[in-house]
Amino acid sequence: MKYYTIDQLPTLNKNSSKLARFAVIGNPVEHSLSPQLHQPALDDLEKDARYIRVEVKVDQVREAIQELHSAGIHGINVTIPHKLEALEACDLVDPSAQIMGAVNTIVFDKDGSCTGFNTDGPGFARAIREEFSVDLGDLKVIIIGAGGGAGRAIATQCAIENCPQVILANRTLGKLHPIKEQLSKLIDREDLKGPRDRIEILDLSDPSLEQAIGSSELIVNTTSVGLKATDPSPFPSHWVEPHHLVYDTIYNPERTRLLRDCRDQGARVANGLSLLLHQGALSLEYWLNQDIPLELMREGVKNALKE
Ligand code: ATR
């Protein structure tokens, strides 16, 4: 079964030895890699649980969460386009998920109430540590595409981690004003004040983008530019220098034009597979409250990408 619809939930456990216990909701959801990511870990931990995909229509997330709980689901991942709607539908929302404006993980309490979390931000911090052996909080960061969902989650994490500089760049500048306002509150403490604003916003076409990239240590692409094999780099990659760390949240294709060009420039580069992995592992930690076999999850998703 590639995915279920809400109408099919009553038949969820017919013809299956393992009970459906975890689910990803989205639309479309057919291509979500979450089952391939989570199932190997659930099997290894002998949870006797199945991880399924469920297609949910826009404006039906609240009902879907209730129906899934009634159908015996213990935890839900939320993907595009439902992350904001899920935030609004949860009984409680973790404060950082609130600032990120998105929930990607739902945990049910014993009484059936649900709490929403966002593991994209913390998962990104873990990914940066794994890829580059540095703490995100020690880096001057520029986020290209900070107005999108992933960009906002990562920007929030940078503020939470107290990065010395966070530059938010986006094609549509207007989306960045409310984000800057939210994030400034996080770091608006006397002891963190410096000669310039720690959080700056920039139009992608602003001529000072080159200098902003030059002054950064970590460059993160959260735009969708690169998803198509023929896509260009989202900014001129000859601006990148060997001292830069470059993280592209895209993992398919494995090497975007940006990553290929930046590697040629001598920079250290990584793709979004580690983010996918760590945000998933964090969800599982919330649900199971135990250590997770991370390498099995990595293998699972890598195999799925080869198919
Ligand atoms: P979301 O992540 O919220 O679903 P999205 O539409 O997938 O959003 O876009 C993610 C990011 O990619 C956004 O920052 C978007 O810029 P805008 O806010 O200006 O739309 C960015 N993006 C998409 N296509 C782009 C392009 N051709 N050039 C530059 N940025 C682009």
Read off the pLDDT of residues 163-221 as tens digits, 9 standing for 90 and up: 999 999 999 999 999 999 999 888 766 565 665 678 999 999 999 999 999 999 999 99
Assign 36 to helix, strand or coil.
Answer: helix
Q: What is the phi-psi region of residue 125: left when phi exceeds 0, alpha when psi lies from -120 to 50, beta otherwise?
A: alpha
Cβ neighbours for 30, distance < 8 A, ≥ 6 positions apart: 2, 3, 53, 55
Where does the pLDDT of residue 44 fall: very low under 50, low under 70, confident under 90, or very high at 90 and above? very high
pLDDT score of 186: 81
Q: Answer yes or no: is pLDDT of 274 > 70.
A: yes
**What are the Cα distances from residue 293, in Å, to 38, 49, 158, 250?**
10, 16, 27, 23
Task: Count the neighbouring beta carbons within 10 Å of the beta carbon of residue 183.
Answer: 24
pLDDT score of 148: 94
pLDDT score of 292: 96
Atom of ligand 1 nearest to the CA of 224: 12
Q: Report how far apart the first and last C-alpha atoms of the chain are (Å, whole number).
A: 17
Which residue's CA is the nearest one to ligand 1's atom 14? 145
Averaged confidence pLDDT in the chain:
95
Q: Answer yes or no: is pLDDT of 5 > 80.
A: yes
Q: Answer yes or no: is pLDDT of 76 > 80.
A: yes
Q: How would you classify the pairing of strands 245-248 and 218-221? A: parallel
Place of tokens 């279920």: 4
Task: Count the neighbouring beta carbons within 10 Å of the beta carbon of residue 196.
Answer: 7
Sign of the Cα torsion 278, 284, 290, 291 reads: negative
Residue 102: both structure tokens together: 């998105």
pLDDT score of 185: 84
From the candidates 14, 57, 83, 193, give the one annotated as an active-site residue.
Answer: 83
pLDDT score of 191: 60
Q: Please give the Cα distance from 303 to 224 (Å, whole number).
A: 23
Assign 20 to helix, strand or coil.
Answer: strand
pLDDT score of 194: 63
Ligand 1 shell residues, CB under 6 Å: 80, 145, 147-151, 170-172, 175, 204, 223-225, 234
Q: Answer yes or no: is pLDDT of 235 > 80.
A: yes
Q: Answer yes or no: is pLDDT of 125 > 80.
A: yes
Is the bond into 242 cis (omega within 30 degrees of 0)?
Answer: no
CA of 25 from ligand 1 middle (Å) equals: 22
Share of the chain above pLDDT 70, in %: 97
Cα 159-162-168 angle, rounded to 5 deg: 40
Q: Please give the Cα distance from 96 to 103 (Å, whole number).
A: 10
Least confident residue range of 13-22, 215-224, 238-247: 13-22
pLDDT score of 16: 83
CA of 49 from ligand 1 middle (Å) equals: 36
pLDDT score of 6: 94
pLDDT score of 192: 58
pLDDT score of 110: 86
pLDDT score of 13: 87
Atom of ligand 1 nearest to the CA of 81: 4
Place of tokens 């911090």: 125
Where does the pLDDT of residue 28 fall: very low under 50, low under 70, confident under 90, or very high at 90 and above? very high
Q: Which of 176, 224, 250 to mutate to test the pocket of ligand 1 (most atoms within 8 A of CB)?
A: 224
Q: Please give the Cα distance from 33 to 24 (Å, whole number).
A: 9
pLDDT score of 198: 86
Residue 163: both structure tokens together: 């990065």
- Nearest by Cα to 104 from 25, 3, 22: 25
Continuous segment of H or E residues that includes residue 60: none
Instruction: Answer yes or no: 83 catalytic.
Output: yes
- pTM confidence score: 0.95
Where does the pLDDT of residue 15 fall: very low under 50, low under 70, confident under 90, or very high at 90 and above? confident
